[in-house]
């Protein structure tokens, strides 16, 4: 089951990935993507083990960004692979059939290639400009999502990239399965409350 809210950790000077994960899970998040950049696999493994304990305690799915072998070693539920990461077919050979594999897309052609490669879900974006990701692909906006998703897609697509609370309802109406969020939760004054608000909006409890 692919969650409607994909929560993503980020490298922050004032808060560890474990602290970010604990706060998000306390707000009801049940899908955590650990995204650590510019660290060795050994260091990412240490962080992943700590984050996995938190995810296990909350019953949350753990996805590791990029580091396929770390995901296997730590016993995560899956990996998310960017355009320049290990190809998803190769990752499937390494991980086996039981692991979740997500891929990153910016165009309908990207999506078709990922569908053929057998991914379980796709992160499509960016919705708008975001400083969280370097080498940003062209911004899609609502019209981009409508155009791409109107062609029919066989796997769940999650919108990502600079999405705010006020965007979520309109974004979801454009056709994705869910949203992926990082800074909106991590940089909030109360990350748990921010996560809960997102979940309430996705559940139709508030706009």
33 is in an annotated binding site: yes
16 is in an annotated binding site: no
34 is in an annotated binding site: yes
Kindly give the interhelix angle for 108-117 and 141-149, rounded to the nearest 10 degrees: 50
178 is in an annotated binding site: no
196 is in an annotated binding site: no
35 is in an annotated binding site: yes
130 is in an annotated binding site: yes
132 is in an annotated binding site: yes
72 is in an annotated binding site: no
84 is in an annotated binding site: no
- Output the known binding site for Mg(2+): 66, 85
- Output the known binding site: 33-37, 65-66, 85, 104, 130-133, 162
């Amino acid at each position: 089951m692919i969650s409607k809210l994909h929560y993503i950790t980020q490298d922050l000077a004032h808060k560890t990935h474990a602290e970010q994960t604990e706060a998000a899970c306390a707000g009801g998040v049940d899908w955590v993507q650990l995204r650590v950049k510019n660290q060795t696999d050994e260091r990412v493994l240490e962080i992943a083990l700590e984050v996995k304990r938190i995810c296990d305690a909350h019953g949350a799915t753990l996805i590791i960004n990029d580091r396929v072998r770390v995901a296997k070693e730590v016993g995560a539920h899956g990996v998310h692979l960017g355009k320049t990461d290990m190809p998803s077919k190769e990752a499937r050979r390494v991980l086996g059939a039981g692991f979740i594999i997500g891929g990153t897309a910016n165009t309908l052609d990207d999506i078709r290639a990922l569908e053929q490669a057998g991914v379980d879900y796709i992160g499509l974006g960016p919705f708008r400009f975001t400083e969280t990701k370097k080498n940003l692909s062209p911004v899609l906006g609502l019209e981009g999502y409508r155009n791409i998703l109107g062609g029919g897609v066989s796997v769940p697509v999650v919108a990502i990239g600079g999405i705010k609370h006020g965007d979520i309802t309109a974004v979801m109406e454009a056709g994705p399965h869910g949203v992926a969020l990082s800074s909106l939760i991590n940089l909030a004054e109360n990350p748990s409350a921010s996560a809960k608000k997102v979940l309430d909006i996705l559940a139709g409890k508030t706009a």
